[in-house]
Amino acid sequence: MRTQVGIVGAGPAGLLLAHLLHLAGIESVVLESRSRAYVEERVRAGLLEQGTVDVLTETGVGDRLHREGLPHSGIELRFDGQGHRIDLQGLTGRRVTIYGQQEVVKDLIAARLSHGGPLLFEVADTAVHDADTEHPSISFLHDGQARVLRCDVIAGCDGFHGICRDSIPAGVLRAYERVYPFAWLGILAAARPASHELIYARHERGFALATMRSETLARHYLQCRPDEDIAAWSDDRIWAELHARMARRDGVAQVQEGPILQKGITGMRSFVVEPMRHGRLFLAGDAAHIVPPTGAKGMNLAVADIRVLARALEAFCHGRGSALLDAYSTTALARVWKAQRFSWWMTSMLHRFDGDDGFEHRLQLAELDYVCRSPAASLTLAENYVGLPLSLGASWAA
């Protein structure tokens, strides 16, 4: 097999890259170890920055997003029993949209299949070869047959546990990591959302988040220990803890109870590798970086990576040189580290840390009060939340 760009991974990063390359007249093959049903049905968070919505819309895969997505013009920070709204749209002219990651994947798979682009599911024994040469290749098994895909470039979009990053020789990449001393217990419930916008709650018992998947599906998170036993959390205990952490001074209960459909525990970590390439192998999305979910940056960072990489590959494949490809890692990492900073800041400001004698709690309350009272601080949060510009060289209004 022969193609211009071999793409490992059919998540949002790999599928969006294949879509953008198709629009630019560049051939690609997408390889995915899981089944189509698995990648389409795996429920993942989905808060889309304005820039992510824009790129999906501009490239023709945003119709269902605009029909079914839930636009949000603000968020609420709740602490000391009171809510404080940050007007995202009023401060920045931009907003965010709730639309599940699996729904983005479905839309991109449909687009890929509609124009007949090669998309192979359930491949096995995938391995990258000769990435440091001008003729890299990917070997794999599909339908019981051993195959080799020869490429000009390989895009590693196969997530944190994928094979692409691990295929790079030791010593080439430098990894930066922070593991947080807490996790999130998340539930999906058949209940009306607590609010039409997200609520981030700082409470002395720990952080809580109220969000949604639709008007009838609520998604809630509670800070817990990383080694928490999910079996120890009965439905009654979960609802009681949500009511306690979301409590308002006026006594009005916003959390709406309903049958809990899913429960799970998510660890919290920050992770970045530099550079995001080795020879003709380029890493994107979770293969290169992980952020704690507090800032809602995971999928949005993947989309930002792909916008930079697709533009660079278009120039390279159409004979306009490799300057943009050579700058890919530096360009992408500038935005990655700013998203890491924002996610770390939100996480540090809202979570309870073990061993705190009250000092940390009072500092967090002071920080939250400042963010909500200062127009400049509110703007800083808002412009980070809706998404920084793709390039540091771009106008902040771009």
Residue 203 located in a structural domain: yes
CA distance 397 to 389: 8
Task: Assign 392 a pLDDT band (cuts: 50, 70, 90).
Answer: very low
Instruction: Decide which of 354 and 260 is more confident.
Output: 260
Residue 378 structure tokens? 């509110």
How many helices (DSSP H) and strands (DSSP E) are in the chain? 11, 20
Indicate which CATH number applies to the domain containing 182.
3.30.9.10
Instruction: State mean pLDDT over 6-21.
Output: 97
For 388, the enclosing helix (H) or strand (E) is: none
For residue 356, pLDDT over 80 is answered with no
What DSSP designation does 232 have?
G
Task: Assign 390 a pLDDT band (cuts: 50, 70, 90).
Answer: low
Return the residue matching tokens 């080795």. Answer: 278
- Cβ neighbours of residue 246 under 8 Å, at least 6 residues apart? 78, 194, 199, 201, 203, 208, 210, 254, 255
Q: What is the pLDDT of residues 35-89, one digit of tens each?
A: 999 999 887 778 999 999 999 999 999 999 999 999 999 999 999 999 999 999 9
Among 9, 13, 11, 12, which Cα is nearest to 29's?
9
Contact between 210 and 72 (Cβ < 8 Å): no
Domain with 257, as residue range(s), is 177-267
Pick the last residue of a domain from 216, 236, 267: 267
CA distance 366 to 364: 5
Within this chain, do residues 183 and 285 fall inside the same structural domain, yes or no?
no
Among 51, 103, 53, 97, which Cα is nearest to 75's?
97
The catalytic residues are 72, 200, 293, 297, 385
Residue 277 structure tokens? 């390439």
Residue 346 located in a structural domain: yes
Q: What is the pLDDT of residues 308-325, one digit of tens each?
A: 999 999 999 999 999 999
Give the model's pLDDT for residue 174: 97
Contact between 158 and 287 (Cβ < 8 Å): yes
Instruction: State mean pLDDT over 247-260.
Output: 91
Instruction: State mean pLDDT over 102-125.
Output: 96
For 95, the enclosing helix (H) or strand (E) is: none
Q: What is the pLDDT of residues 270-312, one digit of tens each?
A: 999 999 999 999 999 999 999 999 999 999 999 999 999 999 9
Within this chain, do residues 153 and 110 fall inside the same structural domain, yes or no?
yes
Give the model's pLDDT for residue 357: 79
How many domains, the chain? Answer: 2
For residue 135, pLDDT over 60 is answered with yes
Residue 72 located in a structural domain: no
